[in-house]
Amino acid sequence: MSDKKLWSGRFSEPTDAFVEAFTASVEFDQRLYRYDIQGSIAHATMLARAGILSVAERDSIIAGLERIREQIESGQFDWSVELEDVHMNVEARLTSAIGDAGKKLHTGRSRNDQVATDVRLYLRDEIEIIRAEILRLQRALLDKAEQEAETILPGFTHLQTAQPVTFGHHLMAWFEMLERDRERLADCNKRVNIMPLGSAALAGTTYPIDRHYTAELLGFERPSENSLDAVSDRDFAIEFSAAAALIMMHLSRMSEELIIWSSAQFNFINLSDSFCTGSSIMPQKKNPDVPELVRGKTGRIFGHLIGLLTLMKGQPLAYNKDNQEDKEPLFDTVDNLKGSLKVFADMIPAITCKPESMREAALKGFATATDLADYLVRKGTPFRDAHEVVGKAVALGVSKGCDLAELSLEELRGFSERIDADVYSVLTLEGSVAARDHIGGTAPAQVRAAIGRARARLAGQ
C-alpha cells in the first residue's frame, strides 16, 4: 500500500515528519473503521444507483471494503501514520487492491462529511449499548429494593438523621435517577441520528446524489438540512457528553453513599470482596475501591464535557482541524461510562445489608420527631405550635440521652395534654414508615407498588 498522500497534488514539498505525526489521528480514530466501511458501502451503493458508478465498480468497491474489514478484524491490516486517518488508510488500501474503481469511491463526498457520519454511526451504536447497561443496573436495583422493601434505615438531610425510610425506598430513588438518564439518552439519540454524508466539504456536491437513499441505507432518520452546519456540528457529541456527565454524577452520588455505608462508622452494608481491595500495610483494611474509582472517573468525564465545549466555542463555519480533537474525549467518555455502569450492575446484587446496624442508627437522632408533630396536628394543634412542642420534647431527650419513644407518657404530656398513650404507635420506626402510605412514599406497600410500576415500564425494553 502506497503512503503517498491522496491530496498531495497541490503540494511541492513533503510534509515535515513531526508535523505528519502531530496532525495524524489514525492512532485513535482507527476504532471507527467499521463505521467508515459501512458508510462507504452505502455511499458506493447510492453512487451506482445515481449512475455515477457502474454496477461492476460498485460491486468491486463493496467486495474490496468487506475484505479490508476482515483484514482489520483479523489483525492483518497495517495502519500508516503517513496516511493520517482511518479514512485515507482504508481508501488507499482499497485503491491498491482494486485499482481505479477505488479512486472513484470518494466522488461526491469529503473527509469532512465522512468523519461526521462515522462518529454519528459510532455514537448511535454506543448509546444503545449504554442504555442497555443502564437497564441492567436498574433491574438489579429493583431486585435489591424488593428484597429490602421493609428494611429500615435513617434518611438524611445535611447528612443528619431526618426521618426513617426503607432501604428499598432509597434504592428506588437511585432507579429514578437512572430512568431519567435512560430517557435522556434516547432523546439525545434523535439528534445523533441525522446524516451529514453528502454535504461534502462544506457546500454540497455537483453530482446527482440521493441523500435520502443513503440515509435509508445507513438507518438514519433523515439527511441533514444544511451542509455548512452538517460538517462542522459537534452538538450531538457535546449533548451526549452532557448526558454522560449526568449519569456519572448520579453514579458518583451512589458511590459516595456506598462508601459511607460500608465504613465501620456506619456499618450499614457489606460490599462483596470481589469489588474491594486491601491495604499494602494495614491488614485489616477492606477498601471500597470500585465506588471510589467511579467517583473519581466522574471528574474525568466532566472534564471531557468542558473540553468539547471549549473546543467548539471559537470555531467559525465550517470544518476546522480543531475538530480532530473531539474524538479522544468522546471515546474516553464512552469507554469509562460503559465500564462504570457495568461494574455497578455487577456490584449491586452482591451488596449485603446489615439491618440491625441500620435500625440502630435510625433509632438515634430523633428520626420520628416529625411523626410526633403530625400526631399533634391530627389532635388539633396548629403545626407551628406542634413544632415547638416537639422541639422541647427533643431537648428533654437530648438531656436524658434517650429517644422520644423512650420518654414516659407523663413526660410527653408535660409538653401537651393532647398526647395520649396511642402516641407510641407513631414513635416507632415501623409506624413512621408505614404512615407514609401514598404514591412516592416510603411505606413498604408503596415501595412494592413502585417496584411493580417500574417493572412494567421496563417490560419489553
57-66, 206-215, 277-286, 409-418: range with lowest mean pLDDT: 277-286
pLDDT value at position 17?
Answer: 74
pLDDT value at position 9?
Answer: 53
What is the rounded CA–CA span in Å between residue 423 and residue 405? 9
Per residue in 11-59, pLDDT tens? 455 556 777 777 788 999 999 999 999 999 999 999 999 999 999 999 9
Mean pLDDT score, 334-358? 97
Per residue in 174-204, pLDDT tens? 999 999 999 999 999 999 999 999 999 999 9
Q: Mean pLDDT score of the chain, rounded to an integer?
A: 93
Task: Assign 7 a pLDDT band (cuts: 50, 70, 90).
Answer: very low
pLDDT value at position 460?
Answer: 79
Cell digits for 142?
A: 429493583
pLDDT for 419 beyond 80: yes
User: Which CATH architecture group holds 8-107?
Assistant: Orthogonal Bundle (1.10)
pLDDT value at position 21?
Answer: 77
Give the Å distances, CA to CA, from 285 to 147, 268, 327: 28, 17, 40
pLDDT value at position 328?
Answer: 97
Q: Check if the beta carbon of residue 307 is closer than 8 Å to that of residue 234.
A: no
Per residue in 304-323, pLDDT tens? 999 999 999 999 999 999 99
pLDDT value at position 279?
Answer: 60
pLDDT value at position 276?
Answer: 79
Strand partners, 153: 165
| CATH 1.10.40.30 in the chain, residue ranges | 365-458
Angle at Cα 93 formed by Cα 87 and Cα 95, nearest 5°? 100
16-30, 81-95, 362-376: range with lowest mean pLDDT: 16-30
CATH topology of domain 112-198+224-360: Fumarase C; Chain A, domain 2 (1.20.200)
pLDDT for 338 beyond 50: yes
pLDDT for 170 beyond 70: yes
Element (H or E) spanning 124, and its range? helix 111-147
pLDDT value at position 199?
Answer: 98
pLDDT value at position 3?
Answer: 54
Q: Which residue has the cell 471559537?
A: 314
Per residue in 215-273, pLDDT tens? 999 999 999 999 999 999 999 999 999 999 999 999 999 999 999 999 999 999 999 98
| CATH 1.10.275.10 in the chain, residue ranges | 8-107
Q: Percent of the chain beyond pLDDT 90?
A: 85
Q: Which residues contact 135 (CB under 8 A, 6 or more apart)?
A: 182, 458, 461
Q: Check if the beta carbon of residue 127 is closer than 8 Å to that of residue 396.
A: no
Task: Assign 281 a pLDDT band (cuts: 50, 70, 90).
Answer: low
Whose CA is closest to 236, among 178, 195, 204? Answer: 195
Positions marked active-site: 158, 279
pLDDT value at position 14?
Answer: 59
Q: Percent of the chain beyond pLDDT 70?
A: 95
| CATH 1.20.200.10 in the chain, residue ranges | 112-198+224-360
Count of Cβ atoms closer than 10 Å to residue 379 Cβ:
15
What is the rounded CA–CA span in Å between residue 26 and residue 20? 11
Q: Check if the beta carbon of residue 168 is closer than 8 Å to that of residue 148.
A: yes
CATH topology of domain 365-458: Ribonucleotide Reductase Protein R1; domain 1 (1.10.40)
Per residue in 254-268, pLDDT tens? 999 999 999 999 999
The DSSP secondary-structure symbol of 161 reads: E
What is the rounded CA–CA span in Å between residue 104 and residue 88? 13
